């Protein structure tokens, strides 16, 4: 049954709603940037270094699977209950991580965090879609860019500082006060939001299948060539399980009354290409975000705090690219061209990084990473607004959630794939991680340089595929009043 408020939201009410959801989004954004610089020290402290990538991947895998569920849950029960549910689960996972005594415990904690965090970003974007037209939405993407800018600057520095000078567990303890503040900021303001409720069924079977399939594939990438040979029975069994679970998920998508991701939505000429472009872009972006600090620490000899500062350029570049594109999208007809040019620029920078990885100076790495960040960032508002502009209003929640689903899945597989390359060179090992924050080791530096020749090449290949799908995406006129939106964008 549909229920909606009879009156239109005022600009002041929209601003209050935006402030509330931006606080929730800050929590998820900070969690994605604060962990990476501390990974080497966390691995050295907890042991079982071959599972180091799971500190990131466990979060992304569970977050990926539940993102569409939150989209439908919010359609049934409203955005506010869905947002508070995701926030509560996220904080519970943070507590488990902060108290974790070993690698297994922190992986479990990160999986719980993902069950909550999967809803934070998707619901924030869905709320914006509820209160604005597609043309106005580009302006609000700029506001979200401010959240990412703050997280991009503060997260890596704070994470590196905590790991080097205090303890890595503070990375997770800090979520509790921020989460409490987010609750206080959103509890009242989201009551203003019009409630449009629809009857839906939640596809828990599909969620379990995709978690199982992705986890099995990640285990293949984590253990293959390190703990087991690629042709060993264990790896082959895991690969077979991943294939069977994937087939089961595809069958569920085709046969379930309300599947986790409806296959029909991919027949949309915008959604199919946009989600695949996002998948490969995030494969490259999240993967390099996680492993760039390892390159800076082991190949260039930087301390964790310094590597965190080095990561800022990549993240801030992505925010700048998204900000610029978001501002100019409402003003131009062929808005896709900015994203195409940015992504091509990022591919060239990735090629240079791969060719020169063993002998780059720090400032050269930063300059090239800035180009990568700006180029990838340019596609974020383009793909998000394009998908929301192309789907029917009744499919807005699931359309946004589908994009977030492929975004998270791409990131999870990117982390595992990049990790498999680094593991193959012996850079991420218990003995190697013992050097984190210690004196420069020439042998480890040599191995790290060689490993990242392949890592940066993989990054460039993924971005190239993303560019192909971006080129295939249909460019529809943006809905909404052009002149009014241009004025709003100028004021922002």
What is the average pLDDT across 227-243?
85
Question: Is the predicted pLDDT of residue 4 greater than 50, yes or no?
Answer: no
Residue 179: the pLDDT is 81
Q: Which helix (H) or strand (E) holds 393?
A: none
Residues 49-88 as b/e (b if ≥16 CB within 10 A, e otherwise) read bbbbbbbbbbbbbbbbbbbbbbbbbbbeebbbebbbbbbe
Query: Is residue 407's pLDDT more than 60?
Result: yes
Question: What distance in Å separates the CA atoms of residue 94 and residue 116, rounded to the nearest whole number?
Answer: 10
pLDDT at site 212: 83
Give the residue, 188 or 438, on which the prediction is more confident. Answer: 188
| Range in 8-17, 31-40, 254-263 with the lowest mean pLDDT | 8-17
pLDDT in tens, 38-82: 777 787 777 766 677 778 777 877 777 777 777 777 777 777 777
Average pLDDT over residues 353-366: 86
d(CA 205, CA 248): 10
Residue 331 pLDDT > 80, yes or no?
A: no
C-alpha distances (whole Å) from 439 to each of 37, 377, 383, 430, 432 are: 17, 35, 44, 16, 12
**263: how many CB neighbours lie within 10 A of its CB?**
12
Mean pLDDT, range 371-383, rounded to an integer:
88
Nearest to 319 by CA among 289, 349, 297: 289
The pLDDT assigned to 459 comes to 92
C-alpha distances out from residue 297 to 111, 161, 311, 426, 434, Å:
27, 14, 11, 15, 12
Whether pLDDT at 464 is above 70:
yes
C-alpha torsion angle, residues 323, 143, 369, 170 (rounded to 10)? 180
pLDDT in the model for residue 65: 72
pLDDT of residue 484: 40
Closest CA to 54 of 27, 70, 35: 35
pLDDT at position 199: 60
Grade residue 429 by pLDDT with cuts at 50, 70 and 90.
Answer: low
Q: Is the pLDDT of residue 102 over 60?
A: yes
Among 93-107, 126-140, 152-166, 440-454, the range with the most confident prediction by mean pLDDT is 93-107
DSSP code of residue 228:
B
What's the whole-number average pLDDT of the chain? 77
What's the pLDDT score for residue 397? 65
Share of the chain above pLDDT 70, in %: 78
pLDDT (tens digit per residue) in 271-280:
888 889 999 9
38 vs 375, which has greater pLDDT? 375
DSSP string over 251-312: HHHHHSSS-SS-GGGGGSTTHHHHHHHHHHHHHHHHHHHHHHHHIIIIIS---HHHHHHHHH
What does pTM read for this prediction? 0.72
Judge whether residue 483 has pLDDT over 50.
no
Tens of pLDDT, residue by residue over 279-316, are 999 999 988 887 888 888 888 877 767 777 777 788 78
pLDDT confidence of residue 490: 28
Q: How far is CA 402 from the centre of its chain?
A: 13
Q: How far apart are CA 242 and CA 247, in angstroms?
A: 9
pLDDT of 2:
42
pLDDT at 192 over 90: no
Q: What pLDDT digit, counting tens, does each position of 197-211 carry?
A: 556 666 778 878 877
């Amino acid at each position: 049954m549909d229920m909606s408020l009879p009156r239109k939201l005022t600009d002041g009410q929209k601003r209050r709603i935006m402030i509330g959801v931006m606080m929730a989004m800050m929590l998820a954004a900070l969690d994605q940037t604060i962990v990476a610089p501390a990974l080497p020290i966390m691995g050295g402290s907890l042991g079982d270094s071959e599972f180091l990538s799971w500190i990131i991947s466990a979060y992304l895998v569970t977050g990926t699977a539940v993102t569409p569920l939150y989209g439908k849950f919010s359609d049934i029960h409203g955005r506010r209950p869905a947002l508070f549910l995701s926030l509560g689960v996220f904080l519970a996972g943070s507590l488990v991580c902060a108290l974790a005594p070993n690698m297994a415990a922190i992986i479990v904690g990160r999986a719980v965090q993902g069950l909550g965090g999967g809803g934070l970003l998707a619901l924030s974007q869905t709320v914006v879609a509820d209160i604005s037209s597609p043309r106005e939405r580009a302006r609000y993407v700029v506001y979200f860019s401010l959240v990412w800018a703050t997280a991009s600057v503060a997260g890596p520095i704070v994470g590196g500082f905590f790991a080097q000078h205090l303890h890595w567990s503070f990375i997770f303890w800090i979520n509790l006060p921020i989460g409490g503040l987010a609750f206080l900021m959103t509890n009242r303001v989201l009551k203003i939001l019009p409630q449009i409720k629809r009857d839906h069924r939640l596809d828990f079977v599909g969620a379990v299948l995709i978690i199982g399939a992705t986890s099995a594939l990640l285990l293949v990438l984590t253990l293959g060539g390190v703990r087991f040979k690629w042709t060993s029975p264990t790896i082959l069994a895991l690969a077979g399980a991943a294939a069977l679970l994937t087939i089961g998920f595809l069958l569920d998508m085709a046969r379930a009354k309300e599947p986790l991701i409806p296959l029909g939505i991919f027949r949309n000429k915008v959604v199919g290409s946009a989600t695949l472009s996002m998948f490969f872009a995030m494969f490259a972006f999240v993967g390099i975000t996680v492993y760039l600090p390892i390159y800076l620490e082991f190949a260039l000899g930087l301390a964790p705090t310094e590597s965190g500062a080095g990561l800022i350029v990549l993240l801030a570049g992505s925010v700048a690219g998204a900000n610029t594109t978001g501002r100019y999208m409402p003003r131009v007809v062929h808005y896709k061209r900015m994203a195409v040019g940015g992504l091509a620029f990022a591919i060239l920078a990735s090629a240079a990084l791969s060719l020169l990885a063993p002998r780059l100076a720090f400032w050269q790495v930063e300059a090239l990473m800035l180009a990568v960040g700006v180029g990838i960032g340019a596609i974020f508002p383009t793909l998000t607004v394009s998908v929301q502009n192309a789907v029917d209003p009744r499919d807005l929640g699931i359309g946004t959630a589908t994009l977030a689903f492929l975004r998270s899945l791409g990131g999870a597989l990117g982390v595992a794939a990049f990790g498999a390359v680094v593991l193959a060179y012996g850079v991420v090992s218990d003995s190697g991680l013992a050097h984190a924050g210690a004196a420069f080791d020439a042998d480890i530096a040599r191995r790290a340089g060689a490993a990242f020749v392949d890592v940066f090449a993989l990054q460039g290949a993924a971005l190239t595929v993303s560019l192909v799908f971006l080129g295939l995406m249909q460019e529809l006129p943006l809905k909404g009043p052009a002149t009014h939106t241009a004025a709003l964008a100028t004021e922002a």
